[in-house]
Structure 1
C-alpha cells in the first residue's frame, strides 16, 4: 500500500508459469524420422521463412489512401465497389475491407485518393502451445520484505530496474494511462480491477469478448497488464506503476492469433482514449521477399495453404502500421513493443522485418534475466542477455527483465515460502486468469513479452513525474539518459541504450 518503506535490499522472487516466447524458438530437425523433409525445411526450400508466422487473408484487405487521412466519401466508394468496410481509421488513412468479389482490388484501386489495396494478414503473434505451465501449489506466509502483497517478493524484475526505490521517491504512476494491446484479460482479477478503465477498454476480436475465456491460468494479456500496473492493495503482486490506469485493448484471440488490421485499430483506439503509453507484447516477422502462405487451409486440412509472392503487400502493410504508430506518437503517446523471441541477429539477417517493434516511433525492448537467482538472491547478476531475445543495433532501444530458462540443473529452492526448481525462479511472475469471478491467479512466464511491460511501467512512472504529460521524444531521451549502459558504450545490439532504471528515470 502507499507509504511503505522499501530498502535497496528489497529483493523480489519470481513465480510460476513459463511462456517460452512471443514467437519462441522451437527448433526442428531438417529431416523427420521417416526421412521426409520437415514442414519447416520444405517451406524454407520454397523461399518462405516459417518464423514469420503470417498468412495472407483471402478476402480481407487493407486499403491505404494517398494521404495520411481518409474521408468517409472514400469509404462509401469502397462499399460501392462491392466491399464491406469493417473499420475506417480516418486519422491514419487506412481502412479494412471485406470482399468476395474477385474484381474488388482492381475496382477499388481506381478510386481517386486510393494509394493501394493489399490483403490483410492473419498472424500467430504468439503460440500458447509453447507455454510451459508450473502451477502454484504451496505458498507460505509473506516473505521478509515487510510488504503485505503476498507475492511481491517473487518479482525480481522490480529489483533489477529499481522500481521500489522510485516508489520511495514518491513516483507511482498516478495520472498516467497505459493501454495494453494483447489477448483477453481477467477483468475481475483483484490485483487489476482497481486500475482498469473499463469504459475506455475495447475488444476488436470478432466472436470473442474482452475477457480471457480459455481454461487454465495462462492469460498473456493479464500477465502483461499486471507487470505494468497491478494495484498495490495488499493482495498479490505490485505493478511497476501501481497507480497508473489500464486501458485494456483486445487485438488478439485468446489463442494468440489475430489480424494485422486489429492491431492498427487498437493503436488508434488507445490514442483516442487518451493513453499516455501503449504496450504491445506481440510481434511478427514479415518476410521482405513477400512470400507468404495463403489462408485457404483449414485446421482440418492445412495442406490447402499455398505459397504466394506479394512483395507489394509487405511494403504497403509496413506503411500502414507506420501510419498508425505515427498517429499515436504525434498525439503524445509513447509506444513500446517487444523485440521478439527468435534470437535473430538483426545486424546479419535482413530477410525479415519485425513488427511492430520496428515501426515508426516505437521503442523496442529486448530481454534480460538472472541465471540461478534463487541460489543467491542478493548477489546474482540480474542482467544477462536472454538467450531467446532478438537483437541488433537498430532493432533494440532498451532492455528490461524478461526472464530466461538457461540455468542448468534441477536443484530445488524455497523462496518466499514457495518450493520450486531454481530455473523456474528466473522467470517473470505476474497475474494470470481465473474463470472463477474474483479469484486471483498468477504464473511465471518468459519472453520479450515480459520485458516490454517492465519498460512501459518505467515510462508511466516517468510521465507521472512530469505531471501526466510528456512527449514521446522527451520520454525516449530521458530513458536514454537514465538507463544503465550494460553493453558496449552507447547503443549496442543487445541492450540498446541500456537496461531501464526506474529510480534514475524519476530522480535524475
Structure 2
C-alpha cells in the first residue's frame, strides 16, 4: 500500500483465530474503540443496473450449494462462481430487489447476501440465458486509478545490465543477504502474488514465474487461465512486489528475499485499479486449490477501507472473505498483508472518510469495533507495518497495538517494474519482504503449519522499542519493546527464519 495522500484516490492497493490464541496481532483486536453503530451506506441500485453480490450459505457442502444456486436464479440472478468448499456464491443481477428476493427463494439455505460494490458492474458475465444479453461493457480505461493510490514509480538510473544490490538497504535490514548464505529458497515453495500481475518477460522474474499456476480473477471473480490474462496491464505494482519476494540471483538488477522460489501471478486488480471482494475471494481460493505455500496481499479490498459487520451488505462480504482466508489457511497457505497507508492507529480509529471509493463521493462515516480492513485485520493474516531506512515507522504507515504482527522496510524500495527497475514506497512494499521470509522459512522447515510459521515469524523478529514520537507519524507508539503499536513483535528477521 502506498502513502495516504493518494490512497483514497485508488482504493485497492493492500486465518484462524483459534490457531493463534487470544492475543493475536493483525486481526483479532477491534478496528476501533467505539461500539456505536457504524454510519449506514445504503446500496440501492435501480432495476436494470447489473450489480455483483456474495451469497453465503448456512452449511458449506455441495448439496446446499446447488440449492442456493437455484435460489439465485429464482431471485433473478446469474451464478458467476460457486465455492462450495466455503459455502459462498458470487452472483450478478440486474434486479433491484435481488437481495430481498433471495432471502425468500433461499430460505433455510442462504445465511446472508451482500452487494460487493456500489458502482454498476463492468465485468458482466455474458452468454445464453443472461438477461442483459451478449457482449461486455469493458473497462473504464479513462479512470485508471493507480493500485492502492500509488505514487508514480521513480525509475532507477542505468541500463539495467548492472547489479543494483548496493541499493537494497532493505535486504540488509532484515538480514536476507545473510539468510541466503543458508538458502535462496526451494523450488518446491510457491508464493502467490495477489496483485496487478507480473511482467512475464522481466529478466529478474521470468525464470521464477510459474505460468501453470497463474490466473486472472478480475472478470466477475471467476478464475481464468487465459494465456495472457494474468499479465499486468495498467499497473506496475504487482511486478514491484514480485521482485522483492523472489527476483532471481542472475548477476543483473536486484535480488529478492527468496530468489529461488516460484511465483504465481494471481491477478486481483482490474484495469481500473480496483480489488473487489469477489476477486480477492477467488485469489485465496485459487491459492489453496493450487497448493501454494504463501500469499502476499498488498492491498485492501475495495470499495470500503473498512467493512462493517453491523451493515448487511458489508457484513456479508466480511464473512465471505473471512471464509476464503480461513479455508486457504486450513489448506496450508500462510498470508502476509499490508497494514495500510492512511497513518491510522487501527486499534483506536473511529472514522473513515474515503469510502466507498467507487462512488461519485465517499461518505464521511463513523466506524466501530466490527469494522475491518480486509484482509489485513482478519485473524491469522500476518499484518505488516512499514519502516524507513533509519528503522523508524514510515510516516504513511498504519499502526496499532495488537494490530501489527511485524515491521519491514517499505520506504523507497528498489525493485522490478515492467521493463526495468524503480523505487516505490508503501506498506505494499513492506509486506512482500515478510512473504519472502515466510517462503525461506517454508523452504527450510516444510513441516510447519501456517500457525506455526506465524508463531516462529513473531518469535524470530527483532524486538524493537518505540521510536521517539514524531509529528508526521500520527499516534504515538504504545506498548513494550516486546510488543508495540509500531513494530508489533519486531522487525522481521530472515536469518533467524532459516535457523
> Normalised by the shorter chain, which TM-score bucket?
0.7 to 0.9
By how many angstroms is 1:212 displaced?
1.5
- Go from structure 1 to structure 2 and tell me whether the alpha carbon gap of 1:248 and 1:289 turns closer, same or farther (over 3 Å shift): closer
Q: Quote the residue 2:248 is aligned against.
A: 231
The answer (yes or no) to whether the contact 2:307–2:374 under 8 Å persists in 1 is: no
The answer (yes or no) to whether the contact 1:63–1:118 under 8 Å persists in 2 is: yes
2: CA distance, partners of 1:317 / 1:388 = 27
Alignment counterpart, residue 430 of structure 1, candidates 405, 415, 418: 415
1: CA distance, partners of 2:425 / 2:86 = 34
Q: Deviations over 1:54-80 (max 9, x none)?
A: 999962111000124452342233223
1: CA distance, partners of 2:154 / 2:486 = 29
1: CA distance, partners of 2:444 / 2:377 = 28
Q: Quote the residue 2:281 is aligned against.
A: 264
By how many angstroms is 1:213 displaced?
2.3
Structure 1, unaligned runs of 5 or more: 1-17, 27-46, 143-149, 291-309, 371-381, 404-426, 435-440
By how many angstroms is 1:138 displaced?
3.9
1: CA distance, partners of 2:212 / 2:44 = 33
Q: Quote the residue 1:500 is aligned against.
A: 492
SS at match of 2:155: coil
The answer (yes or no) to whether the contact 1:23–1:125 under 8 Å persists in 2 is: no
RMSD of Structure 2 on Structure 1 (CA): 2.9
The aligned runs of 1:86-165 (5 Å cut-off) are: 86-110=80-104, 111=106, 112-121=108-117, 127=147, 130-138=150-158, 142=162, 150-165=163-178
Q: Quote the residue 2:69 is aligned against.
A: 75
1: CA distance, partners of 2:460 / 2:451 = 14
2: CA distance, partners of 1:196 / 1:187 = 7
Q: Please, what TM-score do these two structures have when normalized by structure 1?
A: 0.72
Q: Deviations over 1:201-251 (max 9, x none)?
A: 10012399321223xxx5001010111111112221111011111111001
Q: Deviations over 1:119-160 (max 9, x none)?
A: 112699964764134333446985xxxxxxx11222111101
The answer (yes or no) to whether the contact 1:286–1:314 under 8 Å persists in 2 is: no
* Higher alpha-carbon deviation: 361-370 or 451-460: 361-370
By how many angstroms is 1:287 displaced?
4.5
- Go from structure 1 to structure 2 and tell me whether the alpha carbon gap of 1:496 and 1:244 turns closer, same or farther (over 3 Å shift): same
The answer (yes or no) to whether the contact 1:21–1:449 under 8 Å persists in 2 is: no
Match status 1:395 vs 2:395: no
1: CA distance, partners of 2:214 / 2:109 = 32
Q: Quote the residue 1:485 is aligned against.
A: 463
1: CA distance, partners of 2:183 / 2:378 = 33
* Higher alpha-carbon deviation: 129-138 or 82-91: 129-138
Q: Deviations over 1:261-313 (max 9, x none)?
A: 111111101110110001100014545668xxxxxxxxxxxxxxxxxxx8122
The answer (yes or no) to whether the contact 1:203–1:209 under 8 Å persists in 2 is: yes
Count of matched residue positions in the alignment of Structure 1 and Structure 2:
397
The answer (yes or no) to whether the contact 1:22–1:281 under 8 Å persists in 2 is: no
2: CA distance, partners of 1:287 / 1:167 = 38
- Go from structure 1 to structure 2 and tell me whether the alpha carbon gap of 1:328 and 1:122 turns closer, same or farther (over 3 Å shift): farther
The answer (yes or no) to whether the contact 1:184–1:254 under 8 Å persists in 2 is: no
